[in-house]
Structure 1
Amino acid sequence: MSALRVGIRVPPCDRAYRIVETVRRAEQLGFDDVWFPDSQLLWRDVFTTLTAAALGTERIGLGTAVTNLATRHPAVVASAARSVAELAPGRFTLGLGVGNSSVGPIGLRQTTSAAMREGIGMLRALLHGEEWDFEGKVRSRLRDPRPEVPLHLAASGPKNLRLAGEIADGVILLSGVSPKTLAQAIARVREGAEGSGRTAQPPLTVSAFCAVTDDIAAEARQIKPICASIAQNGGAPFLALAGIDVQVPATVPGVYPDLVHAEDWKAAVDICSAWISDEAALRFAQEFCLFGTADQITDRLRALETSGVTGVFLQHVGSYDPPADLIEAVGTSVLTHLKGNDR
């Protein structure tokens, strides 16, 4: 029996009551958590969806993966988090990140490390019912606070990984499951924790694209835009550690709104084929993702647990449909092996 928490990423891509049906199925099949991304132009409001999910489920953990403190003021996030936590006591995790697809389409910049430090400080104070000095003009507090809400920080670069280890209640690692890159990421988190005098490393949740398949090469071609986006956004050195040497231009025309969330996925795959070969995509799937048979994925999840990871959330390819097929495939095969579920 594995203690590793296995979650699934579900974009709020449809009406809330329909998304809740997907979440209920994940709960029935034994998933531990459902994580919802937040991007105001791509999907429905994440906290509206979380509210419906909280009311429509009983056991499964609920979290944001992730919301941000750029399009949403920390005080607004604190109120929303408190409201969801009231509906799902002990089940809600507030995952935070720099913004990415929330800030880019409206011309804002990603949250800096300094701003993230201050924002998390404000969030934590408000959720604990403490007063906060707002720009030296007024001191205010949150009524009916919920101090038990854990604050998890998503990070990929060294600076934010150390920051997460220093101040967050948990860390969402965006490095994939490649052993070399994962070890480096965990080391940076540990540095931050030790530097701040923390006696224990915070919980670590890894995000990973997943496909239960007997034909990894065929499925791997579909994640070329993901690999290209990593290379485009400063991740080429991480890819190189796994033997993937690719160069992608800073701007890729013909893809909206971005490589990871392309509305026309087939076109994005074709465009990215100019830089990401089938061989590179296969290597990426094998190293950074959880692609393979149920047995192969189960073995890799067990290996993650021995590396110190406490949780994983799985992603499917695509942003505008719920991961129903992935939930069925993992829930009826991988989880039965990993956790002994008989649902």
Structure 2
Amino acid sequence: MTTRGITVLAGGLKDTRDITVRAEQAGFDGAWSGEFLNRSAVVSVAAMAAATTRIGVGSAIAYAVGRSPLVLANDARFLDEMSEGRFTLGLGTGTRGMMVGWHGVTDPDGPASRMEELIPLLRRLWQLHEGPVVHEGRFYSCNITPTADIEPPLRPEIPIYTAGVNARMIEVAGRVSNGLICHPTITDQYLGDVARPAIERGAEKTGRSASDVALKGVIITAIADSVEQARREAAAQIAFYVAPKAYGTVMEASGFGAETAEIQAAFRAKDHDAMVDAVSDAMLAEMAAYGTTDDVREQVERLEKRYDHAALYSPSFTLSAERVAENTTAIIETFAR
């Protein structure tokens, strides 16, 4: 049975905390927050954990670059302690441009290899109470000898999920992760033709079973009395995600190459309306739930069957802060147990 969560990527810290509290009261299983130019996943999840007692909390995603392995390991360790074992560490690298321009990465090549080096190192650092950790790799090096008694972590292993879009990055989840964070634009065809085979290849290379890798999905969800309004809101978010040139081949693999070319051309022209107009009904059916509460209940139940955990997510691109808050409230009320 698929568990259900909510993703919070808009608003301030108070909004993030309050939404998580309401989601817990409504019976949601998980709450996730990420980061961007103006947002910290670590601080967001800390506030979410401190304000709740039952709901799972996770970063989706925190950037795996820009933090040293020790800092990232200790952030996760304390978040797990603060949440009393409810934390999942969701990691991603972002695009090449984000790695270089935002985080100052001097070697942006091989992001999948970077992640495959980082995750086992994090797990070793969580066991620092057992003795020194020495590592010399392509991307990371550390030589740490504990100088005082270190208590073991709350849990011997904190779940780590990794985000992936292209096949090589998805393979990372199969090799070293507990779960794959699927991009909001993923489709049944892409899952079947690309993602699941990539997980299986990765798992085989490290002697694991693909069944050990959970799928965490993100479902764009827009609820309104006007179906057309909800459709445009959902379409705007899809257009935002597929606008970068890097997503062209991914969308082609799902059969949406023509629509994506139009969206990307409109993006370059800074024509937001044309971006939204280029999103087809077929894209919406695969990537979003939109319409009245009854429409959305039916669509979410269909889409979430792909995943072990599905996090519902309000569109925000071109929407006012007030509309995002209104829609998020509607999502929580619609799916309250």
Q: 1:264 is matched with which residue?
A: none
Q: Which moved more, 1:161-170 or 1:290-299?
A: 290-299
Question: Take 1:32 and 1:102, find their aligned partners in 2: how far apart are those partners?
Answer: 31
Matching residue's letter, 1:22:
I
Matched, 1:108 2:109: no
Aligned-partner Cα distance in 2 for 1:228–1:63 = 23
Task: Look up the match of 2:330.
Answer: 329
Q: 2:222 aligns with which of 211, 226, 235?
A: 211
Q: For residues 3-28 of structure 1, what are the alpha-carbon distances to aligned partners after superposition, in whole Å with 9 as ceiling and x for unaligned?
A: 322111113742x3443222111111
- Asked if 2 retains the 8 angstrom alpha-carbon contact of 1:150 and 1:169, the reply is yes
Aligned to 1:261: none
Whole-angstrom distance in 1 between the partners of 2:41 and 2:286? 31
Identity, % of aligned positions: 25
Per the alignment, residue 258 of structure 1 pairs with none
The one-letter code of the counterpart of 1:42 is: N
In 1, Cα distance between equivalents of 2:241 and 2:222: 19
Corresponding position of 1:196 = 206
**Is there any run of 5+ residues in structure 2 with no aligned partner, and where?**
none
Instruction: Provide closer, same or farther for how the CA distance between residues 272 and 94 of structure 1 changes in structure 2, counting only shifts above 3 A.
Output: same
TM-score for both structures, normalised by structure 2: 0.80
Cα separation, 2, equivalents of 1:287 and 1:214: 21
Partner Cα distance (1:145, 1:182) in 2: 38
Matched, 1:77 2:87: no
Cα distance in structure 2, aligned partners of 1:237 and 1:106:
24
Tell me the residue number matched to 1:93.
88
Equivalent residue pairs, number: 314
Q: TM-score, normalised by structure 1?
A: 0.79
Q: Deviations over 1:125-171 (max 9, x none)?
A: 11233532144672346933432311110111100111111110111
Summarize the Cα distance change of 1:161–1:250 in structure 2 as closer, same or farther, 3 Å threshold: farther
Aligned-partner residue type, residue 318 of structure 1: S
**Mapped contact 2:31–2:57 kept (Cα < 8 A):** yes
Name the CA shift for 1:305/1:277 in 2 (closer, same or farther; >3 Å).
closer
8 Å contact 2:30–2:56 — kept in the other structure? yes
Letter in 2 for 1:183: G
Alpha-carbon distance change, 17 to 211 in structure 1, aligned in 2, over 3 angstroms = closer
Hey, what's the Cα distance between the residues in 2 that align with 1:97 and 1:297? 29
Partner of residue 11, structure 1: 9
Contact 2:3 2:310 in 1 (8 A): yes
SS, match of residue 43 in structure 2: helix
| Aligned counterparts, 1:94-243, within 5 A | 94-100=89-95, 103=99, 105-106=101-102, 108-109=104-105, 112-129=111-128, 131-135=132-136, 138-140=143-145, 143-146=150-153, 147-174=156-183, 176=185, 178-184=187-193, 185-199=195-209, 200-213=211-224, 215-222=226-233, 223-224=235-236, 226-227=238-239, 229-240=241-252, 241-243=254-256
Q: Which moved more, 1:230-239 or 1:74-83?
A: 230-239
SS of equivalent residue, structure 1 residue 164: helix
1:299–1:288 CA distance, 2 compared to 1 (3 A): same
The answer (yes or no) to whether the contact 1:165–1:190 under 8 Å persists in 2 is: yes
Structure 1: gaps of 5 or more residues: 255-267
Report the structure, 1 or 2, having the larger helix content.
Answer: 2
Within 1, Cα distance between the matches of 2:188 and 2:208?
A: 25
1:46 maps to a residue whose letter is A
**Counterpart residue number, 1:272:** 272
Question: Are residues 251 and 68 of structure 1, via their aligned partners in 2, closer, same or farther at CA, if it must alter by over 3 Å?
Answer: farther
